Amino acid sequence: MRLIIISGLFDTEVLVVGAGPVGLALAIDLGEKGVRCTLVERKPDPQFLPKMERCNARTMEIFRRMGIAAKVRAAGLRAEVPMDVYIILAMNRPPLLHLPYPSVAEARRQIDACTDATMPLEPYQLISQYTLEPLLKSVAEALPSVTVRYGCEFVSFSQDRDSVTTRVRCHGPVSEIKSKYLVGCDGGASAVRQQLGIALDGEGDLLRLRQGLFYCEELFDRIPIGKGPGHGRHYHVADERSTFLIMQDSTRHWTLHAVLDDDRAMAPQFEKTLGVPVKYEMLYVGEWKQNLLLADHYASGRVFLAGDAVHLVIPTGGLGMNGGVGDAVDLGWKLAATLRGWGGPKLLASYEIERRQVGARNVAASRYASLGRRKWRSLWRNLGELVAVADVEQRKSNEMIGAELGYRYVGSPVIADEPGGPEHEWLRYVPTTWPGARLPHVWLEGHAAIQDRIGQGYTLLCLGGTGEETAALEHSFKALGAPFEVLHIPDAIARDLYGFDLILLRPDLHVAWRGNRLPAAPGGLAALVTGQT
């Protein structure tokens, strides 16, 4: 066995296993914070396999904060292509139901005009996982403190009070990597989770579908329904096979999903769904399973889990990868803070408390949306009723804005909790600054986004021209070594929408505390939000 010594006692500060979108997002977040991080991935290279294709609005806000939103958009679907959803018998027949959804360009116009904080700063972006992963990989590789190693498989780990020793097989014999923390972002079958003995609970293997990836040069321009070339994103067929067709980011690639027993049935099913003769190539066929599962724990000792390793949802609602990116950014700053010495013992402990509740709510939201989809699909013999039911039920899959933006951390030891709080809604986003919530997006004077004004540490927003004395709080953060700044936002609109003069934000833009006067002993607040007490 070889020991890879990178420098000093530890080879790296954080070892991340799995370069799916979640592991890559975590590596980028850590790298941007200057944390030494090694990412190991067992695949030799990113693969051209279809999976997710929609980054939701919250993920795009996170990518904006990482400085990569523009790159993601440039690689993804063109901004003017709409995201409409159709229920059809075949593409060459009049649609049974048309649910229009805005293109990125249209959504941006709506966001630009929004003055009540009910919309995100960034619209969603359609980008296929096989496009996103190589892009994130190139971003991670460019960060000086990040090492990315493909063809490197996690084998096992052991941990003690101060370190984790991980055995990996990288193009040869097993070697060891010693790190301060290990994070398993190694997907649904996570070997890291299994070695921790953490179980997934819920409903597994609910339905098996075949998925085919098709390349078709002419389909986008020839879609016979709707107006103009390229009319939508999802085409659900009202049939007994749960068939649906999804446009991918290039508009030349399409995935077809259907309950079929045999790979060979996929090409005829694709042709039947189109109903128009086109030249195409089938690039891939595989099976995937629908699961609604949540891990009992997200961490044990110095080992953490994120993404599909701890939550598996049905893609209805698109909360899988998006939920995992949320895990990554909750964990990233807490690891960095702990490694740099200003994060107290409760900070890393809060990761499981904050993110597992979101995982549970996302599993429930996904169940709710998929039951709706199952309900209208069961009516495929009765099209009249199907359309009326689908007009209500299908929307649940496509209108999850509350689940995307409205998640709030309840009962976290590092948030100054207020008793009660608004209900969690999946289909409606009601902006709030209740502690634990994401700071709602507002435009400031000159059409500047408040999110862009906020730095990477803790920020005390002083709103509406409050004259509150902030030096004592500043001093308290400084004494802990935690990054802190005061940001004066005189705009009346932000004060009105946020409802308080003072809002303390964490590095991840979640509200840690709010009020009109600072507490008499601000040291207690600083100690609480940094996880010291």
Ligand X SMILES: Cc1cc2nc3c(=O)[nH]c(=O)nc-3n(C[C@H](O)[C@H](O)[C@H](O)COP(=O)(O)OP(=O)(O)OC[C@H]3O[C@@H](n4cnc5c(N)ncnc54)[C@H](O)[C@@H]3O)c2cc1C
| 51 vs 506 by CB, closer to ligand X | 51
Q: And the tokens for 431?
A: 């902006």
| 138 vs 516 by CB, closer to ligand X | 138
| 321 vs 414 by CB, closer to ligand X | 321
List, in sequence order, every beta strand (DSSP E) within 389-472. 443-444, 448-449, 458-463
| 330 vs 491 by CB, closer to ligand X | 330
Q: And the tokens for 290?
A: 């629908």
Residues in the chain, how many?
Answer: 533
Q: And the tokens for 433?
A: 């600054």
Beta-bridge partner residues of 98: 86
Q: Residue 524 class from Cβ within 10 Å (0-12 exposed, 13-18 middle, 19+ buried)?
A: middle
How far apart are the C-alpha atoms of 328 and 29, rounded to whole Å?
8
SS3 of residue 6 by DSSP: coil
Q: Residue 487 class from Cβ within 10 Å (0-12 exposed, 13-18 middle, 19+ buried)?
A: middle
Provide, rounded to whole angstroms, the least separation between the CB of residue 83 and ligand X: 11
Q: Residue 43 class from Cβ within 10 Å (0-12 exposed, 13-18 middle, 19+ buried)?
A: middle
Provide, rounded to whole angstroms, the least separation between the CB of residue 31 and ligand X: 16
| 47 vs 115 by CB, closer to ligand X | 47
Which residues, 6 or more positions from 458, have their beta carbon under 8 angstroms from its beta carbon? 477, 482, 483, 484, 485, 504, 505, 506, 507, 512, 529, 530
| 213 vs 442 by CB, closer to ligand X | 213
Provide, rounded to whole angstroms, the least separation between the CB of residue 30 and ligand X: 15
How far apart are the C-alpha atoms of 451 and 444, rounded to whole Å?
10
Q: How many CB atoms lie within 10 A of CB 134?
A: 15
Provide, rounded to whole angstroms, the least separation between the CB of residue 270 and ligand X: 16
Provide, rounded to whole angstroms, the least separation between the CB of residue 240 and ligand X: 20
| 362 vs 466 by CB, closer to ligand X | 362
Provide, rounded to whole angstroms, the least separation between the CB of residue 68 and ligand X: 16
| 185 vs 503 by CB, closer to ligand X | 185
How far apart are the C-alpha atoms of 15 and 37, rounded to whole Å?
6
Helix 320-340 with 345-377: angle, nearest 10 deg: 180
Main-chain dihedrals φ then ψ at residue 264, nearest 5 degrees: -70, -15
Contact 375, 365 (CB under 8 A): no
Provide, rounded to whole angstroms, the least separation between the CB of residue 17 and ligand X: 5
| 10 vs 154 by CB, closer to ligand X | 154
Provide, rounded to whole angstroms, the least separation between the CB of residue 50 and ligand X: 7
Chain centroid, CA 233 distance in Å: 20
Of 146, 514, 148, 162, the C-alpha closest to 338 is 162
| 311 vs 506 by CB, closer to ligand X | 311
Provide, rounded to whole angstroms, the least separation between the CB of residue 229 and ligand X: 23
Contact 3, 179 (CB under 8 A): no
Residues that bind ligand X (CB under 6 A): 17-23, 40-43, 51-54, 129, 153-154, 185-187, 191, 211, 288, 307-308, 315, 318-322, 324
Provide, rounded to whole angstroms, the least separation between the CB of residue 152 and ligand X: 7
